[in-house]
């Protein structure tokens, strides 16, 4: 197993250096859909990562955001987000990262998130803990929602934005505040490292959350859906916390759902 994580760390580091270098040059921006942008850096980073994974693990499947992946029928599948936080990157707002994770039969077994701006490398291996550079990380020990800092995100396209705005509004008043920093993988690392007590988002893809979800659980936190049910890579929503404020936040989510006559977010 060590081999998978070591190679993922090496690849994420190299892709992060490429992003840092490209961030100093003008970007070519194109639109996937309205408000949903992609840059040349997303594509170049993905091409580099996919080529390296294929060289090391030719049989493994790869799912990569910009479409450069490959289905092989293997039980091993890499999830790649070559640039998480594209909008931030395109505007020169220095909050973005590269993230990749390996799942075996849909269970994430190794994951890496690299932030080239802060030179922070988050890595986790199932059963072996979560790390930030050379130090072991743990979720925070704050048990009171009123003393918590939270994070969330709003994807460019979602039918449930209104619902998330209501969660945002209610939780803003019940906590120290909510950050919408713009890179979901880093938000999950903030929970793992004890910077945030909780993070949720209603519409993420598997590559956004694969590595970060493992980081949170390996750092002693809890990852579920917004009702406290099991987390799945293939479902849109995710709710990650230090575990201690989990039930208080679930109560708030369910109050808002009830006020909207809904039983779930989708
Ligand atoms: C986005 C970011 C953002 C989140 C969006 C994601 P991208 O990923 O993680 O924080 O709110 O849902 O799509 O497009 O920058 O890789
Ligand atoms: Ca992403
Ligand atoms: Ca991306």
For the stretch 196-213, pLDDT in tens is 999 999 999 999 999 999
116 lines ligand 1 (CB under 6 A): no
Sheet arrangement for strand 177-179 = 177-179, 149-152, 198-201, 238-241, 222-224
At residue 28 the predicted structure's pLDDT band, cuts being 50, 70 and 90, is confident
Whether the predicted pLDDT of 1 surpasses 70 = no
Same domain, yes or no: 174 and 212: yes
Kindly report the average pLDDT of the chain as a whole number: 96
Residue 2: its pLDDT value, please?
54
The residues facing 80 across adjacent strands are 64, 100
Cβ-contact 246, 224 below 8 angstroms: yes
- What is the residue with the minimal CA distance to atom 13 of ligand 1? 155
Whether the predicted pLDDT of 72 surpasses 60 = yes
For residue range 32-62, list pLDDT tens digits in order: 777 778 999 999 999 999 999 999 999 999 9
Same domain, yes or no: 131 and 236: no
Same domain, yes or no: 166 and 212: yes
Rounded Cα gap, residues 11 and 8, in angstroms? 5
Same domain, yes or no: 19 and 115: yes
Helix (H) or strand (E) holding 84: strand 76-84
Same domain, yes or no: 158 and 244: yes
Same domain, yes or no: 244 and 131: no
Count, residues in the chain: 266
What is the number of other CB atoms lying within 10 angstroms of the CB of residue 119? Answer: 11
- What is the residue with the minimal CA distance to atom 15 of ligand 1? 85
Residue 97 in tokens: 């990262």
Q: Which of 20, 204, 194 is nearest to 97 (CA)?
A: 20
Question: Which atom from ligand 1 is nearest to the alpha carbon of 187?
Answer: 10
Number of domains the chain contains: 2
- Which of 39, 91, 200, 208 should be mutated for ligand 1, with most atoms under 8 A from CB? 208
Radius of gyration of the chain (CA): 18
What is the number of other CB atoms lying within 10 angstroms of the CB of residue 34? Answer: 8
Same domain, yes or no: 183 and 63: no
Same domain, yes or no: 157 and 112: no
Rounded Cα gap, residues 81 and 100, in angstroms? 6
What letter does residue 144 receive in the DSSP assignment? -
**Which residues form the domain of 228?**
145-259
Rounded Cα gap, residues 226 and 3, in angstroms? 34
Select from 104, 136, 168 the last residue of a domain: 136
The residues facing 107 across adjacent strands are 104
Three-state secondary structure call for residue 86: helix
Residue 198 in tokens: 């909780």
Confirm whether 198 is domain-assigned. Answer: yes
């Amino acid at each position: 197993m060590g081999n998978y994580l070591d190679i993922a760390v090496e690849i994420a580091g190299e892709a992060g250096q490429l992003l840092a270098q490209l961030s100093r040059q003008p970007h070519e921006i194109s639109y996937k859909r309205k408000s949903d942008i992609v840059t040349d850096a997303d594509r170049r980073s993905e091409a580099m990562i996919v080529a390296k994974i294929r060289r090391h693990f030719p049989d493994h499947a790869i799912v990569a955001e910009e479409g450069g992946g490959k289905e092989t029928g293997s039980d091993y599948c890499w999830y790649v987000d070559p640039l998480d936080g594209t909008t931030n990157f395109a505007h020169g707002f220095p909050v973005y990262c590269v993230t990749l994770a390996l799942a075996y039969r849909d269970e994430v077994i190794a994951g890496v998130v690299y932030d080239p701006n802060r030179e922070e490398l988050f890595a986790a291996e199932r059963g072996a803990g979560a790390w930030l550079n050379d130090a072991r990380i743990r979720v925070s020990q704050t048990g009171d929602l009123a003393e918590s800092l939270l994070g969330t995100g709003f994807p460019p396209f979602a039918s449930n934005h209104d619902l998330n705005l209501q969660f945002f509004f209610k939780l803003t008043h019940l906590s120290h505040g909510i950050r919408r920093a713009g890179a979901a993988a880093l938000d999950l690392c903030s929970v793992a490292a004890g910077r945030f007590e909780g993070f949720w988002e209603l519409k993420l893809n598997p590559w956004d959350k694969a590595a970060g979800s493992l980081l949170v659980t390996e750092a002693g936190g809890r990852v579920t859906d917004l009702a406290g049910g099991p987390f799945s890579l293939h479902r849109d929503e995710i709710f990650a916390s230090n575990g201690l404020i989990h039930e208080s936040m679930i109560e708030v989510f369910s109050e808002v759902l009830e006020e909207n006559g809904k039983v779930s977010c989708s």
